[in-house]
Chains A and B, each alone.
Chain A
Amino acid sequence: MSILDCTAVELSEKIKSGECTAVEAMEAVFERIGEKEEAYHCYITADKDAALKRAGEVQKRIEAGELAGPLAGVPVAVKDNICTKGILTSCASKMLMNFVPPYSAAAVENLERAGAVLIGKANMDEFAMGSTTETSYYGATKNPADPGHVPGGSSGGSAAAVALSECFMALGSDTGGSIRQPASYCGVVGLKPTYGMVSRYGLIAYASSLDQIGPLTKNVADAAYLLEAVSSYDEKDSTSVKEADRDFTSALAEDVRGMRIGVPRDYFGEGLDADVKEAVLAAAGKFKEAGAVVEEFDLGMVEYAVPAYYTIATAEASSNLERFDGIKYGYRTKDFEGLHNMYKKTRSEGFGAEVKRRIMLGSFVLSSGYYDAYYLKALRTKALIKKAFDEAFAKYDLILGPVAPSTAPRLGESLSDPLKMYLGDIYTIAVNLAGLPGISVPCGKDKNGLPIGLQLIGDCFAEKKLIRAAYTYEKLTTAELK
């Protein structure tokens, strides 16, 4: 068994017992990167020397007994929209091709405190806008199950790196499904926490009211450990939640007896691939067998999630991305005449097509005369979606459904029809609008061998229920899925 087959928690045990070192683990990772990176392109930045140096320092601290946590010495990939002090953080955009942050995100500081070792920065859709990782200025990431397909997005680099063992675990960010959907497409575990669980300080904002950092891992236990390491109250983030139960790993128990699980009929209608439907309903059956109470219900409001999301997210994005203007950092156009022309050329040349599309859409919905009709209406819709979930969680502990209507599309297929791509987010988006936690767990493969993900959705702060259910399902099915 190769060291690369270990989960993050298993690896850390080995390092602490002296069976291997953090440096050896990092060397193994870079050996794998050397083999796979050209074909799959998971990373934007992966500096071997720097990573080995960091691993060496952590190894010393482990040996000195300073680091004894469950993730000490484990190599980790971090999505490129999460600031890392002194290391290029580009958001996969030409606009930030030279941006080296003077500070690290709170989540990265938490990772360092836990003794995890940064490998490099994972590829993504430009500014996290996209569902395929094809909008990256640095080129697309490929699906580990079939390089002719996309890995999903926007955290496609993180998900593919986990699936390819180009890392032991990874951080992604999820604004409308950007952790769960690529996890589903790549056959790994992806957890989007409750809004406010992980500090957003240092996460380069796409849509501030929806963004959350979360783990992408090989299994549910790693996800629980990684979330526990990065989740904290942070006074630098006003939306960070202070009073919350963050003892996630205590939920790693194999027991769903009596758990009430709702399966929304609205998630299984038109547009859902037969293979995906079958796999997800089979998973529901597993829960029933394990003693959970599983029943169908009507969630409602499902068709309004995509338009509400693309109004709110793009509105916030249009404002969040205003700071990229060529003045203070990042790309600046070569030739220009005067300030206005500099802004115009810098932004025209620095942003890709999908980012520009969303900035235009967002600027439009906030414009004088349209604000009430679009933006305010979307906020009211968001409140109604939250209400629909509140009613569901009065009856159920969890909601079970697919992550995405299909498995990973072919490269190039999605970008040609953005509207179709947006509709692909239908099952994940409502979770962000309502601020809920959601997890994607592998639940089989389609007829072409592409992974399928099962989504479990919990009420706010119900991460532990999610983890317990996902852990139980994983234990029940690992053998047969392999």
Chain B
Amino acid sequence: MKNYETVIGLEVHVELATKTKIFCGCSTAFGAEPNSHTCPVCTGMPGSLPVLNRQVLEYAIAVGLATNCEITRDAKFDRKNYFYPDNPQNYQISQLYLPICRNGKVEIETKSGKKYVGIHEIHMEEDAGKLIHDEWEDCSLVDYNRSGVPLIEIVSEPDMRSAEEVIAYLETLRMLIQYLGASDCKLQEGSMRADVNLSVREAGAAKFGTRTEMKNLNSFRAITHAIENETERQIDLLEEGKTVVQETRRWDDNKGYSYAMRSKEDAQDYRYFPDPDLMPVHVDDEMIDEIRAKQPEFRSKKMERYKREFDIPEYDIGIITQSKHMADLFEEAAALCGQPKKVSNWLMGETLRLLKEKNEDAEDIRFSPGNLAKLISLVDAKAITGPVAKDVFEKMFEEDIDPEAYVEQHGLKTVNDEGALRQTVERVLAENPQSVADYKGGKQKAIGFLVGQTMKAMKGKADPGLVNQMLREMLE
């Protein structure tokens, strides 16, 4: 077999976090009653007209600046004409001729080092509604709540060469956009969607091969799997002396293969033309300066600062800064309790464990920095023990309870009454003569069992250090 190279470019759709839709005042909130967030504009009523939501423009420019794009000073919207029931006007308002951002690049890092991936353009557009097929009634229903939800489409150059680079690129985009607050970028929920354009060519060849476009990729795992599968499929075709057909394919993640949806020959003519209902969007220096001034400290800058300011491992810094939400939480909690190392430990340990267990992202963390700081202070003051702290944290992770009040209400405070503790220790020693004998016979480990028994008897509310000390004294 010859040596092949995979060439990949991505089209990434990102749903923007605006409160209202791109061309009307309807809410973008997810999960409402079908067709309850609609109006004449987003249902394509005759005579209705679109008006651009300025926040969409601001987010698009912010993402463009973060990806080193040129901002188009006189951008336009175009109509993409195609008939489908989820598209109430039967044209989608998008940008073809003068998209808002062009010629950008982002730096990605993989095991083999750093490289740039070019951004061809970023354009603004409206999302379509949702079709639901009712098998029972044998009819299709349409919900226009999503119709007009703002999207940006980020089109990369064909600069990626492996699934690993694709994932690194998507992670980089996701972090930039989440840092900007422009979207939550969740693949599973569809607020970030990636279509993969892929071709293969013999290593060293000057020209690109024929590409296919892969759709329906809902997770990083599916993307990786689909890229590997499509690369193999194309190489097999070429090895057999066949040609790759330019077509759109749909990935079936359960079955682990893709099938052709439509070929280039039956590609539609979208008859793009400038939307006469919308004025050209003029972007002046002042607007760009304002948006630039509002840009947050991005991850690489933040990591450098953390290394200077906080005495925590570089690995922890890397994890914490992957999410702006987690980084903000870290900094606020650290400022409140003055113990960055301990805050980091809670985030790296229990927080990550619980997120993984519940299959959630760092963006989903609900507890407040204030409550985490309080919990740390309670442990420091020896008011609660480590095991109790873990239980309280779990409660706090779920419901953001105030740990001080919770500990008080549930009587979880450590018992510092030496008399009561001494009584319990005496009882434990009396009940476990074998362990006492073992210890006295030189088996130091036996003390661990006795500490455990005492803690159990105290329902965890004793200071284990103190228990240990008391046991040793009494055993000597």
Task: Give A contacts to B, CB under 8 Å.
Answer: 82-83, 89, 91, 96, 99, 101-103, 105, 200-205, 207-209, 235-239, 315-316, 318-319, 322-325, 327-329, 339, 343, 363, 366-368, 371, 375
Q: A238-B52, A319-B273 are in contact. Are A204 and B89 (CB under 8 A)?
A: no
How distant is A224 from chain B, measured CB to nearest CB, in Å? 26
CB distance from B251 to the nearest CB of A (A): 24
**Residue of A whose beta carbon sits closest to that of B277:** A208
Question: What 0/1 readout, one digit per residue, does chain B (262-302) give for beta carbons within 8 Å of chain A?
Answer: 00000001011100111100000000000000000000000
A368 to B47, CA, bound (A): 28
B88 at the interface (CB under 8 A from A): yes
B51/A101 in contact, CB under 8 A: no
Q: Is the CB of B47 within 8 A of A238?
A: no
How far, in whole Å, are A323 and B50 apart by their CA atoms in the complex? 14
How far does the Cβ of A55 sit from chain B's closest Cβ, in whole Å? 25
Whether A323 lies near B40 (C-beta < 8 A) is no
Contact (Cβ within 8 A) B90 A322: yes
Q: Check B46–A322 contact: CB distance below 8 A.
A: no
Of the listed stretches B77-85, B331-339, B400-408, chain A binds: B77-85
* CB–CB B46/A89 < 8 A: yes
Contact partners of B90 in chain A: CB under 8 A? 322-323, 325
Q: Is B44 an interface residue (CB 8 A)?
A: yes
Chain B contacts of A366 at CB under 8 A?
A: 81, 271-273
Cα of A324 to Cα of B45 in the assembled complex, Å = 9
Any A CB within 8 A of the CB of B48: yes
Q: Which 10 A-B pairs have the closest CB atoms?
A: A322-B90, A209-B276, A366-B271, A208-B276, A204-B46, A202-B47, A83-B47, A323-B44, A204-B47, A368-B269
Q: Given A102-B40, A322-B83, does the pair A367, B271 have CB atoms closer than 8 Å?
A: yes
Which of chain B's residues have a CB closer than 8 A to the CB of A319?
79, 81, 91, 271, 273
The binding surface of chain B is classed by DSSP as loop
Q: How far is the CB of A446 from chain B (nearest CB, A)?
A: 37
Given contacts A325-B90, A368-B271, A205 and B47 within 8 Å (CB-CB):
yes
Main secondary structure of the interface of A (DSSP, over half): loop
B79–A103 touching, CB < 8 Å: no
B142 neighbours in A (Cβ, 8 Å): 327
Assembled-state Cα–Cα distance A96/B83 (Å): 19
- A316→B269 CA distance, assembly (Å): 16
Chain B interface size band reads 20 to 34
Number of A-B contacts (CB under 8 A): 96
One of B47, B85, B91 near A203 (C-beta < 8 A): B47
Which partner residue on chain A sits nearest B81 by CB separation? Answer: A319
B22 CB to closest chain A CB, in angstroms? 13
Partner of A371, one of B88, B91, B273, B277: B273
CA distance A367 to B51 in the complex (A): 27
Flag if A327 contacts B47 (CB, 8 Å). Answer: no
Q: A322: which of B40, B49, B89 is its contact (CB, 8 Å)?
A: B89
Q: Give Cα A82 to B47, complex, Å.
A: 8
Residue of A200, A236, A329 most packed against chain B (CB within 10 A): A236
* A103-B276 CB under 8 A given contacts A235-B51, A319-B79, A322-B91: no
Give chain B interface residues in 337-368, CB to chain A under 8 Å: none
User: Does B212 belong to the interface (CB within 8 Å)?
Assistant: no
Say yes or no: is B323 at the interface (Cβ < 8 Å to chain A): no
Query: Can you give 17 contacting A-B residue pairs, CB < 8 Å?
Result: A99-B46, A101-B46, A103-B40, A200-B49, A201-B47, A201-B48, A201-B49, A205-B47, A236-B51, A238-B50, A239-B277, A315-B273, A319-B81, A319-B91, A322-B91, A323-B89, A328-B43
Give the residue of B47, B50, B81 whose beta carbon is less than 8 angstroms from that of A101: B47
A202-B47, A202-B48, A238-B52 known; 4 other A-B pairs, CB under 8 Å? A205-B46, A238-B277, A319-B91, A323-B90
A200 vs B47: C-alpha distance in the bound complex, in angstroms? 8
Residues of B within 8 A of A368 (CB): 269, 271
- Bound-state CA distance A315–B276 (Å) is 11
| Contact status of A343 and B83, CB under 8 A, knowing A208-B276, A239-B277, A325-B90 | yes
Q: Cα distance A236–B47 when bound, in Å?
A: 11
Instruction: Write out the residue numbers on chain B whose beta carbons fall within 8 Å of the beta carbon of A205.
Output: 46-47, 277
Q: Which residue in chain B gives the minimum CB-CB distance to A210?
A: B276
Q: Provide the B56-86 mask, 1 if CB < 8 A to any CB of A, else 0.
A: 0000000000000000000000010101010
Distance between Cα atoms of A101 and B51 in the complex (Å): 20
For B267, the closest partner residue in chain A by CB is A368
B269 partner residues in chain A, CB cutoff 8 A: 367-368
B49 and A83 contact, CB distance less than 8 A? no
**Bound CA–CA A102/B272 (angstroms):** 30
* B278 interface neighbour in A82, A238, A316, A323, Cβ under 8 Å: A238
A211 to chain B: closest residue by CB: B276
Least Cβ distance of A106 to chain B in Å? 10
Contact A322 B45 (CB under 8 A): no
| Residue in A202, A324, A363 with the greatest tally of chain B CB atoms within 10 Å | A202
User: In whole Å, how far is B96's beta carbon from the nearest beta carbon of chain A?
Assistant: 11
The reply to whether A83 and B79 form a contact with Cβ atoms under 8 Å apart is: no
A341 to B47, CA, bound (A): 26
A7 to chain B, nearest CB (A): 30
Chain B residues closer than 8 Å to A315, beta-carbon distance: 273
Q: Which residues of B contact A325 (CB under 8 A)?
A: 83, 85, 90
Q: Which residue of A lies closest to B23 (CB)?
A: A238
B277 & A327 in contact (Cβ 8 Å cutoff):
no
Selected from B51, B52, B88, B271, the residue in CB contact (under 8 A) with A323 is B88
Closest chain B residue to A342, Cβ basis: B85
